[in-house]
């Protein structure tokens, strides 16, 4: 009898539920699992095959990966290299495909770093440097630590007279910028990043910034990492240095603009827009950010100033239509906003999908419910931002 078909969304829900059940089982029975890893994996595979026979091979293998990492994170033997090797070996044996070995090798190599087995870790990790942004810093840290162990007693500054190992450490950080590996790819594979690995990453990024102060890439990689980790303090610290050191680099200015916007720091936003317009007087992007800030703050004088600048730079008419509508609406001028909306309908067509959205949003602006009005403002600004940035061909975040 053929299995009953189920939508992928239902299978995903059931897979996640089964995963949570195994996580709870692991928390309660970790010592039993440690004592007999093969039996545990047999139990996992049997349950998975019986409960979810329809899931795809990729989902099946991701489930095995998730359970494996849960065991490793829960076990008191997490730094036991022999146990880790055995755990990963059984995991690979029970997967349907052969993908994923590289990530197990990386986790094993990182645990070698944490155990101080630096030479072994270098050999284990070096062929995976392009897979994740934590690898090169981990290898660099191994060379760095081996270098300091060889230095004469009492020499506090290892960077003043670099030996071959210290030079190798620096070379690994240069490789990081050359290879430009993805940030947090291990996390994307449901492999939680060890806090010790994160600490090593930031230690070596700070070392690289000190070693190579004119190289912007270490700042860029660090900002990317901090953004993905939700570490706003580190992100802001890096950006404060970067926008001063690389004052005409639009990437850092753009990142700072969005950080200040997230922080609702109107003064900081105004300052960064000013710096943008000074460094890129012929570009529309800084002017657009100024217009957006003026709409959010509903400041007439500032809006008209940036609008005049936008006119002189030939900003597309459709962008003006949308921005004028948003400014009037955010300023509480409903009749003026309606007039702008009528003009948008004529230019875009009354059934244009974005016109329909604007009409719905405007209705919520008229509500007596403050929460509904607040939500409508956010929807208006967010949707307008994406739409206008697409029209202006500005990189979206």
CA distance 319 to 289: 13
Q: Count the residues in the chain.
A: 397
Q: Is the pLDDT of residue 114 over 80?
A: yes
Q: Residue 331: helix, strand or coil by DSSP?
A: coil
Buried residues in 196-214 as b, exposed as e (16+ CB within 10 A): ebeebbeebbebbbebeee
Q: Is the pLDDT of residue 158 over 60?
A: no
373-392 pLDDT per residue, tens: 999 999 999 999 999 999 99
Q: Is the pLDDT of residue 167 over 90?
A: yes
**Cα–Cα nearest to 103, from 199, 190, 229:** 190
Q: Which residues contact 24 (CB under 8 A, 6 or more apart)?
A: none
The pair of structure tokens assigned to 200 is 């090593």
pLDDT score recorded for residue 66: 92
Which CA distances in Å does 348 have to 179, 264, 340, 358, 388? 45, 32, 12, 12, 14
**Cα–Cα nearest to 173, from 116, 121, 134:** 134
pLDDT score recorded for residue 368: 87
347-378 pLDDT per residue, tens: 998 778 999 999 999 999 888 899 999 999 99
Rounded to 5°, the CA angle 27-32-38 comes to 110
Confidence of residue 397 (pLDDT cuts 50, 70, 90): low
pLDDT score recorded for residue 17: 95
281-326 pLDDT per residue, tens: 999 999 999 999 999 999 999 999 999 999 999 999 999 999 999 9
The average pLDDT across 34-41 equals 95
Confidence of residue 159 (pLDDT cuts 50, 70, 90): low
pLDDT score recorded for residue 395: 77
User: Could you tell me the pTM of the whole model?
Assistant: 0.86
Q: Over the chain, what is the mean pLDDT?
A: 92
Q: Is the pLDDT of residue 147 over 50?
A: yes
CA distance 48 to 60: 8
**Cα–Cα nearest to 183, from 170, 201, 196:** 201
pLDDT score recorded for residue 367: 87
**Cα–Cα nearest to 75, from 121, 137, 32, 135:** 32
pLDDT score recorded for residue 153: 57
* Chain-centroid distance, C-alpha 192: 14
178-200 pLDDT per residue, tens: 999 999 988 766 566 789 999 99
pLDDT score recorded for residue 190: 59
pLDDT score recorded for residue 332: 92
* Chain-centroid distance, C-alpha 321: 34
pLDDT > 70: what percent of the chain? 95
CA distance 37 to 260: 50
Confidence of residue 1 (pLDDT cuts 50, 70, 90): very low
């Amino acid at each position: 009898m053929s299995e009953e078909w189920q939508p992928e969304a239902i299978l995903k829900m059931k897979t996640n539920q089964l995963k949570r059940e195994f996580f709870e089982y692991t928390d309660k029975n970790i010592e039993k699992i440690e004592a007999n890893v093969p039996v545990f994996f047999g139990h996992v595979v049997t349950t998975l095959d019986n409960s979810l026979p329809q899931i795809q091979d990729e989902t099946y293998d991701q489930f095995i990966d998730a359970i494996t990492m849960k065991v490793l994170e829960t076990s008191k033997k997490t730094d036991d290299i022999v146990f880790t090797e055995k755990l990963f070996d059984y995991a690979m044996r029970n997967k349907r495909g052969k993908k994923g070995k590289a990530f197990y090798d990386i986790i094993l190599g990182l645990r070698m770093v944490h155990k101080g087995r630096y030479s072994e870790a270098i050999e284990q990790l070096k062929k995976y440097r392009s897979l994740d942004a934590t690898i090169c810093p981990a290898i660099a840290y191994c060379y760095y630590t081996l270098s300091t162990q060889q230095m004469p007693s009492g020499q506090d500054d290892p960077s003043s007279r670099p030996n071959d190992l210290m030079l190798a450490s620096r070379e690994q950080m240069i490789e990081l910028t050359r290879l430009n590996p993805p940030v947090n790819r291990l996390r994307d594979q449901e492999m939680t990043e060890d806090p010790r690995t994160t600490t090593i990453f930031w230690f070596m990024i700070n070392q690289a910034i000190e070693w190579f102060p004119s190289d912007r890439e270490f700042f860029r990689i660090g900002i990317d990492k901090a953004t993905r980790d939700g570490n706003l303090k580190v992100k802001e610290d890096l950006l404060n240095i970067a926008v001063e050191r690389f004052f005409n680099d639009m990437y850092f200015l753009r990142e700072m603009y969005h950080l200040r916007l997230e922080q609702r720091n109107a003064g900081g936003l105004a300052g960064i827009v000013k710096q943008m317009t000074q460094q890129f007087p012929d570009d529309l992007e800084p002017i657009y950010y100024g217009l957006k800030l003026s709409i959010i703050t509903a400041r007439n004088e500032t809006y008209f100033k940036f609008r005049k600048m936008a006119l002189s730079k030939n900003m597309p008419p459709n962008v003006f239509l949308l921005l004028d509508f948003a400014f009037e609406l955010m300023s509480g001028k409903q009749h003026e906003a309606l007039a702008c909306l009528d003009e948008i309908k004529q230019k875009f067509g009354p059934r244009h999908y974005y016109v329909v959205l604007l009409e719905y949003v405007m209705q919520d602006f008229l509500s007596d419910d403050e929460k509904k009005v607040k939500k409508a403002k956010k929807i208006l600004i967010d949707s307008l931002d994406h739409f206008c940035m697409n029209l202006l061909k500005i990189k979206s975040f």
